[in-house]
Amino acid sequence: MKKFNVDELIWFIILILMEVSIVFLIRSGNITNFVGVDMIKYFYLSIVILGVFTIAQFGRIFTIKRRVEITNKFIPLTFTLCIGFILLFIFPLLKTNNINSDLGLNKNDDAIIINSENYEILNDINDNKEKFEGKKMIFLGYVDKSEENPDCIIISRIAVKCCQADKEKIQIRVKGIDNDFEDGQWISISGEICFDEKFFILANEYKLQNEPTDIYYHEHL
């Protein structure tokens, strides 16, 4: 009769689940909900390392069982990984995404379309009124009612540099549209850059959107 070690088999399964979960997060793009895009290269490295461990672990399945019983200690971790693995496949099926590259709005060649590559330009607008006033801007974000502004609505987006610990909220004041949206509702705004004490967008067009696959802006380190 061949030797068979249940403890080592469970650990082998755990390694596979961890590796497949990381691969799925990267392939689906959901990994950017947790870390910045510049950190993804380290997850590729972790896949290689886990792969080596998995291959080495396979041979341990056919060994004599240790005297110390550790099977029960693996149960919580295995259960958590299995649930997470299942949810990774279920959530994308429940989520729809109808956002296209131009956010469903009319645009021209001079429009400033805010994305991960140029979102830091928002920090320069107030100091460069002559350069930006009157230009058209297109911006996708969510309605942020955490702050009361009776004369405008706030459209926000979160920027991530490295990971969730260094998130930064980017807010744009928008005028010219009704303030009857729900908090957290995603909306794309197109309008003219105007100024009072600070810059705001005078909207001439907007469109309600589903939550995008990647809800963050990512700073390239």
Judgement on whether residues 205 and 117 belong to the same structural domain of the protein: yes
Of the three residues 92, 122, 151, the one that is the final residue of a domain is 92
**Is residue 140 within 8 Å of 209, Cβ to Cβ?**
yes
In the chain, count H helices and then E strands.
5, 7
Q: What is the mean pLDDT of the chain?
A: 80
What pLDDT does residue 136 have?
92
- CA dist 81 and 14 (Å) reads 7
**pLDDT confidence of 101, banded at 50, 70, 90?**
very low
What pLDDT does residue 31 have?
78
Lowest mean pLDDT among 124-128, 165-169, 200-204: 165-169
What pLDDT does residue 190 have?
92
Query: CB within 8 A of 157, min separation 6: which ones?
Result: 114, 119, 139, 140, 141, 142, 169, 170, 215, 216, 217
**Is residue 174 within 8 Å of 191, Cβ to Cβ?**
yes
What pLDDT does residue 18 have?
85
Judgement on whether residues 63 and 161 belong to the same structural domain of the protein: no
Identify whether 57 is part of a domain. Answer: yes
- CA dist 31 and 34 (Å) reads 6
Judgement on whether residues 24 and 80 belong to the same structural domain of the protein: yes
Judgement on whether residues 126 and 79 belong to the same structural domain of the protein: no
Q: Which residues pair with 159 in a beta bridge?
A: 168, 217
Judgement on whether residues 64 and 21 belong to the same structural domain of the protein: yes
**Is residue 158 within 8 Å of 168, Cβ to Cβ?**
yes
**pLDDT confidence of 66, banded at 50, 70, 90?**
low
Judgement on whether residues 190 and 114 belong to the same structural domain of the protein: yes
Of the three residues 66, 92, 118, the one that is the final residue of a domain is 92
- CA dist 190 and 207 (Å) reads 9
Rounded to whole angstroms, the maximal C-alpha distance in the chain is 83
Of the three residues 65, 92, 119, the one that is the final residue of a domain is 92
Identify whether 97 is part of a domain. Answer: no
3-state helix, strand, coil in the chain (%, to 5): 40, 25, 35
Number of domains making up the chain: 2
Judgement on whether residues 80 and 119 belong to the same structural domain of the protein: no
Residue range(s) defining the domain that contains residue 166: 110-216
Judgement on whether residues 69 and 149 belong to the same structural domain of the protein: no
pTM: 0.62
Judgement on whether residues 117 and 143 belong to the same structural domain of the protein: yes
**pLDDT confidence of 138, banded at 50, 70, 90?**
very high
Mean pLDDT of all residues in 20-31: 80
What pLDDT does residue 73 have?
62
What pLDDT does residue 90 have?
59
Q: How many CB atoms lie within 10 A of CB 146?
A: 9
Give the residue from 112, 189, 124 showing the smallest Cα distance to 152.
189
What ranges make up the beta strands (E) of the chain? 112-113, 136-143, 153-160, 167-175, 186-195, 199-209, 216-218
Judgement on whether residues 195 and 117 belong to the same structural domain of the protein: yes
